[in-house]
Amino acid sequence: MNTVTEQSHPALLGSLSPTVPFEEVINFSPGPTSLPKAVEDVIAASFQQPKLTSLALSHRSPEFLDILNHAVQSIREVMEIPDDYEVLFTLGGGHGQFAAVPLNLCHDATDVGTYVVNGTWSRRGRDEAQKYCNAQTIDGSDPETGAFIGFPELTAENIDPESKFVYICSNETVNGIELHRLPKLPEARKHIPLVIDASSDFSTKPIDWHGSNVGVLFVCASKNIGHPGVTATIVRKDLLGEAKASPLCPGVLNYTITRDAGNLWNTPATFNIEVVGFVMDWIAEQGGVEEIERRSIAKASVLYNVIDGSGGFYGTPVSDTSLRSRMNVPFNVAGGDEDLTNRFLIESWDKGMIGLRTLTPFGVGDYLRASLYNGITVEQAGKLAAFMQDFAGRNAQAA
């Protein structure tokens, strides 16, 4: 194959516009990405109505208040959020919450926050928090290689009893490590609330809010529940209170100000909030998070089965199956062989399977990644699995 042509192929530049008919495109991007087809249809239909859409409504109009209330109520119902939690819609994405968490939970910069760092996103959250609190780290990297492939044990020894919170990312989007259920802290640290970055797995499994002592859980919308621009931040009420936050906490990041203003302290991301409500309605119609979890398991299993059954042609970094992400399946081709990896990307792209290697702030690395959020069906995951099997059959000799 001509190397020059190959290097400039749009698939290798991260293009998301393959030449197949649009109905055949399958978007495996890590986010932003496609929403379920039925939700995209609801959005399109909302623009055909002879009335103002959320893009044009004043955020203080009764029409928008209905949309906002619906979004809050539907998240509450779908995720079974108890009454002692507030559902806030915040701006600034996941990164905004990296700062907001310590700014709201630590009054002084000397207050301790304990960070479990077992992947790129928890590391980024910890790094941002270091500006605002005494961020202590429980290192979850592999002691031998430094790679992120697991989750550390949480013990009374490695958690400072004075911690204002213990911070965990429940799905490490880049590394493919997922906690299928939230952990419980050891008895002697039970008083410390968990802070969860659930940006890439929220809505795909139940959450035991009280049982896991969740204090704050945030989810940037652009993976499973909507479009970039809004973040759902769910905060237990006892953690609110003007006196608890840092006096330097900006108003737009302040949970108490946001709550007191009913999510309308400043202009929220109106359209994006409406879309979150549409996604929650869709989940309820499908049978709730239990059904979404069943589908997520089915989608991920079909890919991991091909990887594990490929005799080493494909590899995936996380060997502990209880921690393998159902949302993001990282895999390499022939140990990262550049020629075969490029061929894999070009051939799959030519069939309409896109987003398997996108550029991230963490570089590309050897691994490709199939993201299986709510927009991907079980059948579509099966198509990728079938392609992977076929590609391995044709190329395993060359590897």
Which residues are near ligand PLP by CB under 6 A?
31, 93-95, 121, 169, 173, 197, 199-200, 220, 223
* Number of Cβ atoms within 10 Å of the Cβ of 191: 10
The residue among 178 and 281 lying less far from ligand PLP, judged by its C-beta, is 178
Q: Which of 136, 137, 135, 124 is nearest to 102 (CA)?
A: 135
Nearer to ligand PLP by Cβ, of 200 and 258: the residue is: 200
Give Cα 341 distance to the centre of its chain: 25
What tokens were used for 273?
Answer: 């909030």
- Asked if 372 contacts 381 with a C-beta cutoff of 8 angstroms, the reply is yes
We find the least distance from the C-beta atom of residue 200 to ligand PLP, in angstroms, to be 4
Answer yes or no: are the C-beta atoms of 67 and 51 closer than 8 Å. Answer: no
Least Å from the CB of residue 179 to ligand PLP: 12
**363 with 338: CB under 8 angstroms?**
no
3-state secondary structure of 238: helix
Nearer to ligand PLP, 111 or 197 (CB): 197
DSSP 89-135: EESSHHHHHHHHHHHHH-SSTTSEEEEEE-SHHHHHHHHHHTTTSEE
Give min distance, CB of 120 to ligand PLP, in A: 9
Strand, helix or coil at 172? strand
Identify which of residues 200 and 380 has a Cβ nearer to ligand PLP in the complex. 200
DSSP state at residue 366: S
Q: How far is CA 143 from the centre of its chain?
A: 26
* Cα three-residue angle 152-158-163, rounded to 5 degrees: 115
Find out whether 169 and 121 touch, Cβ atoms under 8 Å: yes
To ligand PLP, the closest distance from the beta carbon of 340 in angstroms equals: 28
Nearer to ligand PLP, 269 or 385 (CB): 269
The active-site residue, picked from 121, 209, 282, 349, is 121
Enter the DSSP assignment of 61.
Answer: S
Confirm whether 223 is a catalytic residue.
Answer: yes
Here the tokens at position 207 are 């959450």
DSSP state of 208: -
Return the H-helix or E-strand segment holding 368.
Answer: strand 368-371
User: Can 351 be counted among the known catalytic residues?
Assistant: no
Q: Which is nearer to ligand PLP, 223 or 236 (CB)?
A: 223
Cβ proximity to ligand PLP: between 200 and 332 the closer is 200
We find the least distance from the C-beta atom of residue 99 to ligand PLP, in angstroms, to be 11
* Catalytic annotation, pick one of 111, 164, 197, 383: 197
Q: Among 164, 205, 223, 299, which one carries the catalytic annotation?
A: 223
CA separation for the pair 33, 27 (Å, rounded): 7
> How far is C-alpha 35 from the chain's CA centre?
14
CB of 262 to ligand PLP, least distance (A): 23
Residue 191 CB, nearest approach to ligand PLP (Å): 26
Decide the pairing of beta strands 26-27 and 353-354.
Answer: parallel
Nearer to ligand PLP (CB atom), residue 171 or residue 380: 171
Does the annotation mark 320 as catalytic?
Answer: no
Going from the C-alpha of 359 to that of each of 174, 185, 322, 330, the distances in angstroms are 11, 35, 28, 14
Q: What are phi and psi of 236, to 5 degrees?
A: -70, 140
Smallest distance, Å, CB 121 to ligand PLP?
A: 4
**Residues forming the active site:** 121, 197, 223
